[in-house]
Amino acid sequence: MLDVERLSKRFGGIQALKDVSFHARSGRVLGLIGENGAGKSTIVKCLTGIHSPTSGSIKVNNTPHQFVGPQDASAAGISAIQQEPSMFDDITVAENIFVGRLPKGQAGRVDWTATRSSAQSVLEQIGSDIAPSTMMKHLSVAERHMVSLAQALSTDAQLIIFDEPTAALSQAEIHHLYGIIDDLKAAGKAIIFISHKFDEIFRICDDYVVLRDGELAGSGLISEVSKDDLIAQMVGRELSEIYPKVEAQIGEEVLRVDRFTHPSEFADIGFAVRRGEILGFYGLVGAGRTELMEGIFGLKPVTDGTVTIKGQPIKITSTQDAMRAGLAYVPEDRQRHGAILPFSIRRNISLPKLQDLARGIFVNRPAESRLVDTFADRVSIRASSWRQKVSELSGGNQQKVVIGKWLATNPDIIILDEPTKGIDVGSKAAVHQAIGDLVKAGLAVVLVSSELEEALGISDRLMVMARGRVVAEYDRADFSSETVVAAAAGGI
């Protein structure tokens, strides 16, 4: 279906792709694998007409193509479903599916009956019950993905690219998507599937291509490689280096939560964490982990329960109360809630300490510089300077900025909610190393993760939540992926 031969792309002095070759076949799923910055997005943009290659060739069904825009790629039978589909919120689902190519009737007017009927047909094809007349702004993230897929199929696409399609989906929605991909394979479509999640790659893909630094690092059949093999090709390091267990001296108890309850999100939660300890919280989507952490940090009201920090009962009704008590919270969505992306690294890290840095209406710049130097270095942020915008950093370095910002408040306890969500394997290893450094420095860490290997790999103890309650607790010596998953799914 698709032949990519010696594809290269330069942006000024930067070589984004260099002599990359691969093939995608009808009725098979090709996994496109690599770290952030490996060249995956550049390939997708070349295949969909957003970028023109510097050199190399793209053939679709043995016919050479030079795409000068997305419409050329669509006409050749290539369509992409992005991680965050770009849709027009203030028009209907049917209009979004056929945007730019609405069926016309007499006198060149839009045939709205045909538009809605065709939209209904393609939505039924993927098992969706979304009404074509629904306004896009009323749809969930998963439903927007379904509309994006319907849009791709409405063009009779023969090659469909899925770019991190499950990042914001629940487990039920993910399994529904798997079924749709299986149906597309059976219908003879060629599929390129991009994901950081290895369980998805081994579930969905037949073939694979690994990119590293814009070059081909490996390719072949998924059935002939292991996870360790893929990681070695991606980053040149072993799996044990991605989830390093740092041995730290575990000291006295610093945080205790008792009978914590919210009327609709969680009930009767109790746990304790000590200095130098990583206490993990694992559970499926909707288990109530994030809501619990928001309650502890004063972001969500609770109806019952107590928080004790360093032996003193603390009443937390706001984030200021939590910060004064020695708590820090790194939220799940670092781009919306963790950092101000247009701001520099310097301004983000100093933000929680502005009151201490202020001299009247001015900021004490030398003191700010010392603060930023200390905490940016502590988490090993890689940047051209501390004046670089956070939006220009990789996902892993953005996460380090958020962690560094909260460390600047000198907390005793830091809550990390999905600290490696959406970042590549190499960046995960760097964040995990930073977490290890925190516990070695005597902090207590509460880690929320929906990635089982991460939760088991770096936690000292693990709490498992399901349906808003703690259903199991394990010491590290008793960790077992089977029992943890069973507990999370309600098996205990």
Domain residue ranges in the chain: 2-237, 242-490
Please, what is the average pLDDT of the chain?
A: 88
Q: Helical H runs in 187-316? A: 198-204, 227-235, 239-242, 289-296
Phi (first) and psi of residue 308, to 5 degrees? -120, 125
Cite the beta strand spans of 12-54 per DSSP E: 14-24, 29-33
145/139 Cα distance (integer angstroms): 10
The pairing of strands 413-417 and 362-363 is unpaired
CATH code for the part of the protein at 242-490: 3.40.50.300
Q: Which pLDDT score is estimated for 139?
A: 86
Instruction: Scan for tokens 């270095």, then name that residue.
Output: 377
124/121 Cα distance (integer angstroms): 5
Instruction: Scan for tokens 């190499």, then name that residue.
Output: 426
314/116 Cα distance (integer angstroms): 57
How many CA atoms are closer than 13 Å to the CA of 407, on its beta-carbon side?
A: 26
Cα–chain-centroid distance for residue 33? 15
Q: Tell me which amino acid residue 481 is.
A: S
Rg (Cα) of the chain, in Å, rounded? Answer: 25
Q: Helix, strand, or coil here: 112?
A: helix
pLDDT digits (tens, 9 = 90+) for 237-279: 555 666 777 788 999 999 999 999 998 899 999 999 999 999 9
Each of the 492 residues of the chain gets a pLDDT tens digit; together they read 999 999 999 887 678 899 999 999 999 999 999 876 688 989 999 999 999 999 999 999 999 999 988 889 989 999 888 766 678 889 999 999 998 888 888 778 888 989 999 999 989 888 888 999 999 999 887 788 888 888 888 888 899 999 888 766 677 778 888 988 998 999 999 999 998 788 889 999 999 999 987 899 999 999 999 988 887 787 665 556 667 777 889 999 999 999 999 988 999 999 999 999 999 999 877 789 999 999 999 999 899 999 999 999 999 999 999 999 999 999 887 777 888 989 999 999 998 888 888 888 888 888 989 989 888 887 778 888 898 999 888 777 888 898 888 888 889 999 999 888 767 677 778 788 888 988 998 999 999 998 888 898 999 999 999 889 999 999 999 998 888 887 887 644
pLDDT digits (tens, 9 = 90+) for 143-188: 888 888 888 888 888 999 998 887 666 777 788 889 889 989 999 9
Give 95's contacts (C-beta < 8 A, 6+ positions apart).
Answer: 88, 102, 115
Query: Domain 2-237 has what CATH class?
Result: alpha beta
Q: Could you check whether 2-237 and 242-490 share the same CATH topology? A: yes
Q: Angle, to 10 degrees, between the axis of helix 171-186 and the axis of helix 141-154?
A: 10
447/280 Cα distance (integer angstroms): 5
The pairing of strands 190-194 and 159-163 is parallel
Let me know: does 456 contact 245? Beta carbons within 8 Å: no
Let me know: does 82 contact 165? Beta carbons within 8 Å: no
Question: Rounded to the nearest 5 degrees, what angle is found at the Cα of 342, between the Cα atoms of 44 and 167?
Answer: 40
pLDDT digits (tens, 9 = 90+) for 287-298: 899 999 999 999
315/309 Cα distance (integer angstroms): 10
